[in-house]
């Protein structure tokens, strides 16, 4: 009897050892390739390499509705799954603020953190009369019709929001006067500006690096808290008197129903990724700048971003 009991215990222990640890899943709310897929695959890889998760992270691509399909799945079907993380970016919060996810609200998930971002920029042609961001802002304040911005997002999108935030900070009362032309991507926005069809371009650093190096454009401001490594001669908007940071951040959210302890654990893991040599290499290789806000601080920041985006969106008529 004793022998049978010991055999059963031994078999049970072996069976337990044979069961793999629960694997973390990262949902990329888009098809393979692009920013969300990059976020899942890079963060997932590093989490395992530095020992923050016991098994390789499984990446699931769940495209649809600009992230809305994944958001609904997490909020409605997996609200308490503590082994689930989801790639997010500035597009996520912009769409939530503008009710683009079919009535879904930001409080249905918890935003864990951002550990890098594509810095927003305000750019003019190299022969532009505007030598500084202040020159450009002064021109808009004096005559809003005299300056048109080109950007790679639609009206009300993230590129549109960047100059609106700056001009609102400058005291422009009716931001509907700001002229914005949405085109098909950052390269087209640069072409519009270099060609003289618009007076400025609003976009991301990754879109303009080649044009900066070729001398076709001049960057009036980078919309980060500190100057971007490798582009140290470009001043921030904050240095020029406008308290605006607009970074297309890369980070994660988790289901809204997980415990505070589980949320903090993910915040700690993401912090470990941000501090790793592997992530520093990934940022350098992919043109990202440091933008680390994690845990409750990030959630508070997100709440503020959504509120500001809603306010601006109402003012320009994108939402009621």
Could you state, in order of their start, the residue ranges of all structural domains in the chain?
22-117+248-315, 119-240
Do 119-240 and 22-117+248-315 fall under one CATH topology? Answer: yes
User: What pLDDT, on the 0 to 100 scale, is given for residue 10?
Assistant: 40
User: What pLDDT, on the 0 to 100 scale, is given for residue 1?
Assistant: 39
User: What pLDDT, on the 0 to 100 scale, is given for residue 290?
Assistant: 85
User: What pLDDT, on the 0 to 100 scale, is given for residue 294?
Assistant: 97
- Per the CB < 8 A criterion, the answer to whether 208 and 201 are in contact is yes
Q: Would you state the CATH architecture of domain 119-240?
A: 3-Layer(aba) Sandwich (3.40)
User: What pLDDT, on the 0 to 100 scale, is given for residue 19?
Assistant: 34
How many other C-beta atoms can be found within 10 angstroms of the C-beta atom of residue 225?
Answer: 15
User: What pLDDT, on the 0 to 100 scale, is given for residue 12?
Assistant: 38
d(CA 116, CA 287): 10
Q: Which two tokens stand for residue 77?
A: 């079907």
pTM: 0.80
Closest among 188, 196, 183, 189 to 126, alpha carbons compared: 196
d(CA 53, CA 283): 21
Helices (H) and strands (E) in the chain, counts: 11, 10
d(CA 126, CA 211): 10
pLDDT tens per residue, the chain (320 residues)?
Answer: 334 333 433 433 333 333 345 799 999 999 888 889 999 999 999 999 999 999 999 999 999 988 999 999 999 999 999 999 999 999 899 999 999 999 999 999 999 999 999 999 999 999 999 999 999 999 999 999 999 999 988 889 899 999 999 999 999 999 999 999 998 888 899 999 999 999 999 999 888 888 998 999 999 999 998 888 888 899 999 999 999 989 999 999 999 999 999 999 999 999 999 999 999 999 888 878 888 999 999 999 999 999 999 999 999 999 98
Q: State which H helix or E strand residue 213 sits in.
A: helix 205-213
d(CA 116, CA 130): 30
3-state secondary structure (DSSP) of residue 23? coil
Fold of 22-117+248-315: D-Maltodextrin-Binding Protein; domain 2 (3.40.190)
Q: 94: phi > 0 → left, psi -120 to 50 → alpha, else beta; which?
A: alpha
How many other C-beta atoms can be found within 10 angstroms of the C-beta atom of residue 121?
Answer: 29
User: What pLDDT, on the 0 to 100 scale, is given for residue 14?
Assistant: 36
């Amino acid at each position: 009897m004793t022998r049978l009991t010991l055999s059963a215990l031994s078999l049970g222990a072996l069976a337990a050892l044979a069961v793999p640890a629960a694997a973390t899943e990262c949902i990329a709310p888009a098809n393979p390739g692009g920013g969300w897929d990059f976020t899942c695959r890079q963060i997932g890889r590093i989490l395992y390499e530095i020992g923050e998760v016991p098994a390789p992270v499984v990446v699931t691509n769940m495209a649809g509705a600009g992230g809305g399909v994944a958001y609904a799945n997490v909020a409605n079907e997996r609200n308490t799954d503590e082994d689930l993380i989801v790639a997010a970016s500035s597009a996520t919060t912009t769409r939530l603020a503008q009710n683009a996810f079919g009535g879904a609200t930001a409080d249905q998930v918890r935003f864990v953190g951002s550990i890098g971002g594509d810095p927003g920029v305000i750019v003019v042609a190299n022969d532009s009369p505007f030598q500084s961001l202040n020159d450009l802002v002064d021109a808009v304040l004096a005559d809003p019709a005299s300056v048109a911005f080109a950007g790679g997002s639609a009206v009300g999108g993230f590129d549109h929001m960047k100059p609106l935030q700056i001009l609102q900070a400058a005291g422009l009362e009716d931001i509907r006067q700001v002229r914005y032309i949405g085109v098909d991507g950052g390269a087209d926005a640069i072409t519009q500006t270099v060609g003289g069809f618009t007076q400025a371009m609003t976009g991301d650093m990754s879109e303009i690096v080649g044009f900066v190096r070729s001398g076709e454009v001049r960057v009036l401001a980078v919309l980060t808290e500190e100057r971007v490594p490798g582009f140290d001669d470009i001043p921030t908007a904050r240095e020029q008197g406008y308290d605006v940071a607009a970074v297309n951040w890369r980070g994660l959210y988790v289901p809204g129903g997980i415990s505070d302890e589980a949320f903090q654990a993910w915040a700690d893991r993401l912090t470990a990724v941000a501090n790793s040599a592997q992530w520093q290499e990934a940022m350098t290789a992919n043109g990202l700048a440091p933008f680390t806000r994690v845990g409750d601080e990030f959630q508070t920041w997100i709440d503020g971003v959504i509120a500001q985006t809603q306010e601006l969106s109402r003012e320009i008529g994108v939402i009621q």
